[in-house]
Amino acid sequence: MSNLFREFLQKVGSGSHTAKNLTRDEAATAIKMMLRKEATPAQTGAFLIAHRIKRPTGEELAGMLDAYDELGPKLQPIASARTVIVLGIPYDGRTRTTPISPITALLLAAAGQPVIMHGGDRLPTKYGLPLIDIWQGLGVNWTVLPLPKTQRVFEQTGIGFIYTPQHFPLTKGIWDYRDQIGKRPPLATMELIWCPYAGDTRIIAGFVHPPTEGMFQEALALKGISKYTFIKGLEGSCDLPRDRTAIIGISSPTASGELERLHLVPREYGFTTKNVPLGSPEELIADMHDVLAGKSNELMQTALWNGGFYLWQSGICSDMRSGIAKAEELLTSGMVAAKLQEITQVVNSLSTVFPLTL
């Protein structure tokens, strides 16, 4: 048993009236001790549920990010005139609405905007459809690439994917606890703003509950990160909804530090106000291939809605409407499909059998 970890547990687990927040250094140390299994299983499980009940602070999230930065992988800077986008996607996948972010990433890369994604397999507590399965359905198997080869794919194609079971196996033990306690611990919140890239980035993070924005802002400010965008997205993702106004916060250089607020109404841009429900994985992949072929379907509307926004925010287009038009051009011309083919060929050329544990 770790006496030091017991002190952390006593601070966060003392109840609503006497619990105390951890300092940034304490939070970083606690996470590292859990990842390295220096804390006992009883201590780890107790900490995760107690900390969820207490709720994290921005300072604690910054400490958790420090731990991931120290122990986790990072893709190295590439030569690009554009700031790399890191899309933070919930690690337990999607269960109700169709994800569009792989198409968004391909569209951005086809336009010259580098993108990094990260995630693992089906994970608790939702065990929803993960990004890695969608990519595999599209013909791109990120799971077989060690980090140096993922770096090469990123350099050549403008898309990188940190597959955590391969590149950050220390996290697997924490996922097991998430299943056993039946709740997402605060680590799941932190993962949304984790940046596995060593260069200049803009972090895109989705959220569900409005107070999360404040925690994100405080944590990123402590980390010295000033470029970020927060989206009240579908199931906490970075995907813009179509059934309601998209609420977006963008980091602003103003002295007050307040977010620049955007409210995008789908019907004002000619889109129907409904999300595409998630069907079977086979149906999703078929619909995505139709989108890549430039065919009109409901998922194409979601692709244009999201692609237009991200092309605008990347500075590739001057406004939302021109971004939507550019997204349609890229998809119908076959440029996005060509980008997928390029990535598939590069990944296949580098693929080797590689153990999932180090």
pLDDT at 251: 95
Taking only the tens place, the pLDDT of each residue in 214-266 is 999 999 999 999 999 999 999 999 999 999 999 999 997 665 678 999 999 99
Q: Output the pLDDT for position 91.
A: 82
What does the pLDDT read at residue 43? Answer: 95
Return the residue matching tokens 């990004």: 131
Question: Within the chain, which residue ranges are assigned CATH 3.40.1030.10?
Answer: 84-341
Residues 112, 317: contact at Cβ < 8 Å?
no
Question: Rg of the chain over CA atoms, in angstroms?
Answer: 20
Q: What pLDDT is stored for residue 183 in this prediction?
A: 87
Q: Do 216 and 157 touch, CB atoms closer than 8 A?
A: no
- What is the predicted pLDDT for the residue at 254? 65
Q: Which alpha helices (H) appear in the chain, and where do they start and end?
A: 3-12, 24-35, 41-54, 58-71, 101-110, 131-137, 147-157, 164-167, 172-181, 186-191, 211-222, 281-292, 298-313, 320-332, 335-350
DSSP 38-77: -S-HHHHHHHHHHHHHH---HHHHHHHHHHHHHHS--BPP
State the first-to-last Cα distance of the chain, in angstroms, to the nearest integer. Answer: 25
Note the pLDDT of residue 357.
39
Q: What is the pLDDT of residue 175?
A: 86
Instruction: Identify the segments of the chain with pLDDT beneath 70.
Output: 253-256, 352-358
The CATH-assigned architecture of domain 84-341 is 3-Layer(aba) Sandwich (3.40)
- CA gap 277, 266 in Å, rounded: 17
Compute the CA torsion angle 279, 270, 303, 95 (nearest 10 deg): -30
Query: Among all chains, which residue has been given the structure tokens 């009883």?
Result: 42
Predicted pLDDT of residue 141: 97
What pLDDT is attached to residue 256?
64
Tokens of 325: 């038009």
309/306 Cα distance (integer angstroms): 5
What confidence score (pLDDT) does residue 352 get? 59
Burial class (CB in 10 A: 0-12, 13-18, 19+), 319: exposed
Q: What is the pLDDT of residue 5?
A: 96
Pairing mode, strands 260-264 and 115-119: unpaired
pLDDT in tens, 41-52: 999 999 999 999
Rounded CA-CA distance 246/231 in Å is 7
